[in-house]
Structure 1
Amino acid sequence: MASDTTVKDDKSSMFEPISADNEDTGLTEVQSLCVNCEEQGTTKFLFIKIPFYKEIVISSFHCPNCLESNNEVQSAGSIQEKGVIITCKVKNRSDLNRQVVRADSATITIPELQFEIPPASQKGTLSTIEGILQRAIDGLKQEQPIRKSLHPDVFEKIEVFIAKLETLRTTDEEFTLVVDDPSGNSFVENPFAPKEDPAMSFSYYKRSIDQNKTLGLAADDAETEPEKPEIDLPTAGGGLDLKNEVVSFETTCSSCDKPNTTNMKVVKIPHFKEVIIMATNCDNCGKRSNEVKSGTGFEPKGRKITLKVTDPKDLTRDVLKSETCSVEIPELEMVTGGNAISGKFTTVEGLLEDLKTMMIETNPFISGDSVTNDKLSKFVERLGKCIKATVPFTLILDDPNSNSFIQNLYSPEPDPNLSQLDYERTYEQNEELGLNDMKTENYS
């Protein structure tokens, strides 16, 4: 099997940024056997950088003899720390044009039809919601002539189901598309980015041992989840004092499932509360992560903190953002959910840099020439001006659990640029925090 071009020397030069202006696409062609007619065809490989995937390989096969053709998308990037479930409400035909990056480990379901596309049935694709429906229809139609002659009753049932899929594809009938990807490398386009998409939600989860086996992150003979050691945290009444110590304990890496060490320290934030900072660095795969947890329980009310950034010194303010806290910048019409950026203790500038990184590296549709991509590129440019403090802006942290904090530069006096508002949580917010079903009195 000969290649018509020379593969580039290293991985960084092999993968080109996805762009309409990029002419050096790193296209590689190889001669390959057609499985349909067993003649020689051509497979073309395109090595592309999509920020969310880091890198992907797009392959396209074409046979000039029987005109057989197919294409495939494979991730060449790392598996994400957690799996993701993306739920998209398709309300009209324009939603069918949303682009979808589907990893080959992802399962797609349409609950209204009790329809599921398992990961083994289709390979990774870069398509649209309409394209996914059309591909499913084509797959069901493929064996219909055989079913008609051998199993007429099954043929009729599948014909009815195909008609339902066609209705979703060609009308404004509403339905729900759910993408469940243990690798975390699937994505559905947000046409309103950088604003929040009211029709789409994300939830993240820790992979099971079986899912890690499927992704090649755990040995085939692994049977149970590794036990996590219990850590005694400091209490107001006494016990072990960890406030001036860094505690290390053994954990397993979320990416490669190898043993590593997590360092933990309890930090008291002046005029706020205690927090627990945990940092992990995997020597095996190089994965680094850090987390900030509240050292106290659930607060009775939520809190919204508003900072008017008018001076470069405002960028140096300490910021604690919890996992439940959303971030909003009204001037940029930007809102992110709590899970978009993990809990962390940083500065205003550091938080903005993380937002910029999230927009560039975790959104596969920021590059290219579509309207959405243009909006996101302009947003990142405007965000860059905020990071340099060349324009005033407002930073809002909305935390239903009131575990987030922005430093008061005038403490203990009131800060003219900083305000906070405590509010009663909604039922939905309590549900997300798991408080509606929590019983703390009169239980046995």
Structure 2
Amino acid sequence: MAQTEEKLEFFPPIADVVDKTDAGDEEDISARPLEEIESLCMQCGEQGVTRMMLTSIPFFREVIVMSFRCEHCGHSNNEIQSAGKIRPEGTMYTVKVLNRGDLDRQLIRSEACTINIPEFQLVLPPSRGHFTTVEGLLRDIVADLSVQQPLRRIQDETAYAKIRGIIDGLMEIIDDDKEEGEEGQDKPEKRDLSKEDSVTRAITITLDDPSGNSFLEFVGSMSDLKWNMRTYERSLEQNRQLGLAPPAEDNEENVADEAEQQSGGMNEEVFEFPGVCSRCSRPLVTRMKKVSIPYFKDTIIMSTNCDDCGYRDNEIKSGTAISELGKRITLKVEDRDDLSRDILKSDTSGLSIPEIDLDLHPGTLGGRFTTLIRKTTDWFL
């Protein structure tokens, strides 16, 4: 009980916060539900005021609402941040805006949320968190798109016309008349419309949030026919964007380290196996090491030396999967330097020297990693 009461004290419902703000005495600073902090204005460099409010949204969760205003230059800004944990699944909200009552739905957008309005082919990428209504969202879109319109009209008339169409369409939905003085028209009086009146153009608003910290209000209950919510499992890339998974570069390094650890550190270690010499039948040691051949792939080299009779043998095996395609390599030997070239022959490789009518079938002499002159000597010994 003590923990519940403390939680309600720090995050009271937003309706209680509003009532307390309206009924509060301006002189009683301690009774205010807001925290005020002096902050630097990034526009003019003077000191402004940031107000913070801890509250809970009905049917959602606890949030922190922040608002900044500078009295010197008039710059203002507001932002919302989730006070809870990132959900284990992403969420996608969809609402159909059919009448003016739908414009009053509360909307919470986190900094990881993408908003899509398909009727206008409009996609808003992730931005700062925002607590507003559907109408407030549309007004913000109109304000953002209108900023560069005079410049677009001069530089790119095609883009200006397309964006002008989006602005006019959104202004019709929120029933805003054209701005005063634009294109020589005065601003007529607004009509008084009820919430049951249909909007001039129905639209669909979709909130796609991998963090699950966005929200779009339903009316009545979750069976609202114009409202839908579904959850989905985040992809690896979305987890990386949220900081829940390491970046791709780090992940590749970790996978390589794990593979090296699982292989027992074969790249650095030489393994020894006891055996018997095929010539003198004395005990000997076969050594094995994994190496990476430049411009090729990982291979396993096995070497056998008998200290009693001097017998030597080495063999090479591929350390990776079989390639999808076969390979044919041709070398023209013209001088003695060519005889020093390294040669890697697998146990499935054949070899031919047409000048001396030499043809070795696949499997002959097994796999070898040596030089060309030493290899040629082995064939005739």
Partner of 2:209: 181
State whether structure 2 residue 139 is matched by structure 1 residue 134.
yes
State whether structure 2 residue 63 is matched by structure 1 residue 63.
no
| CA–CA distance in structure 1, aligned partners of residues 59 and 101 of structure 2 | 24
Q: Does the C-alpha gap of structure 1 residues 166 and 223 become closer, same or farther in structure 2, counting only changes over 3 Å?
A: farther
Q: Which amino acid aligns with 1:104?
A: E
| CA–CA distance in structure 2, aligned partners of residues 219 and 14 of structure 1 | 37
43, 53, 60: which is aligned to 1:36? 43
| CA–CA distance in structure 1, aligned partners of residues 11 and 46 of structure 2 | 31
> How far off is 1:148 after superposition?
2.7
Q: Does the C-alpha gap of structure 1 residues 168 and 77 become closer, same or farther in structure 2, counting only changes over 3 Å?
A: same
199, 223, 226: which is aligned to 1:196? 223
Question: Retained in 1: the 8 A contact 2:117–2:204?
Answer: yes
> How far off is 1:212 after superposition?
0.9
What do the CA deviations read for 1:6-52 (whole angstroms, capped 9, x no partner)?
Answer: xxxxx958733124445455422221121222211111111223365
Partner of 1:15: 10
Partner of 2:130: 125
Q: Which amino acid aligns with 1:186?
A: S
What do the CA deviations read for 1:326-382 (whole angstroms, capped 9, x no partner)?
Answer: xxxxxxxxxxxxxxxxxxxxxxxxxxxxxxxxxxxxxxxxxxxxxxxxxxxxxxxxx
Question: Retained in 2: the 8 A contact 1:106–1:182?
Answer: yes
Partner of 2:237: 210
> How far off is 1:145 after superposition?
2.4
| CA–CA distance in structure 2, aligned partners of residues 21 and 12 of structure 1 | 14
| CA–CA distance in structure 1, aligned partners of residues 246 and 216 of structure 2 | 31
State whether structure 2 residue 117 is matched by structure 1 residue 110.
yes
101, 115, 130: which is aligned to 1:94? 101
What do the CA deviations read for 1:299-339 (whole angstroms, capped 9, x no partner)?
Answer: xxxxxxxxxxxxxxxxxxxxxxxxxxxxxxxxxxxxxxxxx
Q: Gapped runs of 5+ residues in structure 2?
A: 1-5, 21-30, 176-198, 255-381
| CA–CA distance in structure 2, aligned partners of residues 209 and 117 of structure 1 | 22
Runs of 4 or more consecutive aligned structure 1 residues displaced over 4 Å after TM superposition: 11-14
Q: Does the C-alpha gap of structure 1 residues 179 and 19 become closer, same or farther in structure 2, counting only changes over 3 Å?
A: closer
> How far off is 1:60 after superposition?
0.8
Larger Rg over CA atoms: 2
5 Å-filtered alignment, 1:381-392, equals: none
Question: Retained in 1: the 8 A contact 2:49–2:70?
Answer: yes
| CA–CA distance in structure 2, aligned partners of residues 175 and 94 of structure 1 | 13
Partner of 2:161: 156
SS in structure 2 at match of 1:162: helix
Q: Which amino acid aligns with 2:164?
A: E
Q: Does the C-alpha gap of structure 1 residues 98 and 50 become closer, same or farther in structure 2, counting only changes over 3 Å?
A: closer
What do the CA deviations read for 1:222-274 (whole angstroms, capped 9, x no partner)?
Answer: 659x9xxxxxxxxxxxxxxxxxxxxxxxxxxxxxxxxxxxxxxxxxxxxxxxx
Q: Which amino acid aligns with 1:177?
A: I
> How far off is 1:214 after superposition?
1.3
5 Å-filtered alignment, 1:274-285, equals: none
Which structure has the highest helix share of the two? 2
| CA–CA distance in structure 1, aligned partners of residues 170 and 232 of structure 2 | 30
Question: Retained in 2: the 8 A contact 1:15–1:26?
Answer: no
Q: Which amino acid aligns with 2:43?
A: N
> How far off is 1:147 after superposition?
2.1
5 Å-filtered alignment, 1:68-87, equals: 68-87=75-94
> How far off is 1:153 after superposition?
3.2
Q: Which amino acid aligns with 2:171?
A: E
> How far off is 1:217 after superposition?
1.1
What TM-score, normalized by structure 2, do the two folds share? Answer: 0.52
> How far off is 1:161 after superposition?
1.9
Identity of aligned residues (%): 39
25, 34, 55: which is aligned to 1:48? 55
Question: Retained in 2: the 8 A contact 1:53–1:76?
Answer: no
What do the CA deviations read for 1:384-443 (whole angstroms, capped 9, x no partner)?
Answer: xxxxxxxxxxxxxxxxxxxxxxxxxxxxxxxxxxxxxxxxxxxxxxxxxxxxxxxxxxxx
Q: Does the C-alpha gap of structure 1 residues 161 and 132 become closer, same or farther in structure 2, counting only changes over 3 Å?
A: same
> How far off is 1:128 after superposition?
0.9
Q: Which amino acid aligns with 2:12?
A: P
State whether structure 2 residue 150 is matched by structure 1 residue 145.
yes
| CA–CA distance in structure 1, aligned partners of residues 240 and 78 of structure 2 | 27
Q: Which amino acid aligns with 2:211?
A: S
| CA–CA distance in structure 2, aligned partners of residues 19 and 130 of structure 1 | 19
What do the CA deviations read for 1:96-145 (whole angstroms, capped 9, x no partner)?
Answer: 1111121121111011111111113xx21111111111111100011222
Question: Retained in 2: the 8 A contact 1:41–1:61?
Answer: yes
| CA–CA distance in structure 2, aligned partners of residues 54 and 142 of structure 1 | 34
